[in-house]
Chains A and B, each alone.
Chain A
Amino acid sequence: MAYDYEKYIRPGKLPHIWCPGCGHGIVMKGLIRAMGTLNLKKEETALVSGIGCASRLPGYIDCCTLHTAHGRAVPFATGIKMARPEMNVILVGGDGDGTAIGGNHFIHACRRNIDMTYIIMNNYIYGMTGGQFSPCTPTGDKASTTPYGNPDPGFDLAKLAIGAGATFVARGTAFHANQIDKLIVEAIQHKGFSVVEILDDCPTTYGRRNKYKSVIEMMNRLKEIAVPVKAAEKMTAEQLKGKVLTGVLYKEEIKPEYTAEYAKVIERAKAAK
Chain B
Amino acid sequence: MEKKMPRIEIIEKYCKGCRICVEFCPKDVLEMKGFYASVKNIEACISCMQCELRCPDFAIKVITE
Taking Cβ atoms with an 8 Å cutoff, the residues of A that contact B are 1-3, 5, 9, 14-16, 18-26, 29, 174-175, 177-178, 214-216, 219
Contact = CB atoms under 8 A, between A and B. Distances in A.
B20 A19 contact: no
Interface of B: 9, 13-14, 16-20, 23-24, 49-50, 52-58, 61-64
A22 B23 contact: no
A177 B54 contact: yes
A14 to B, nearest CB: 6
A175 B13 CA distance: 23
A21 B23 contact: no
A127 B52 CA distance: 25
B56 A21 contact: yes
A216 B20 contact: yes
B57 A25 contact: yes
Given A215-B18, A215-B20, A216-B20, A24 B56 contact: yes
Nearest to B53: A177
Contacts of B20: 21, 215-216, 219
Contacts of B57: 14-16, 18, 20, 25
Contacts of B16: 15, 19-21
Nearest to B60: A2
A41 B55 CA distance: 26
Given A15-B14, A215-B19, A219-B23, A5 B9 contact: no
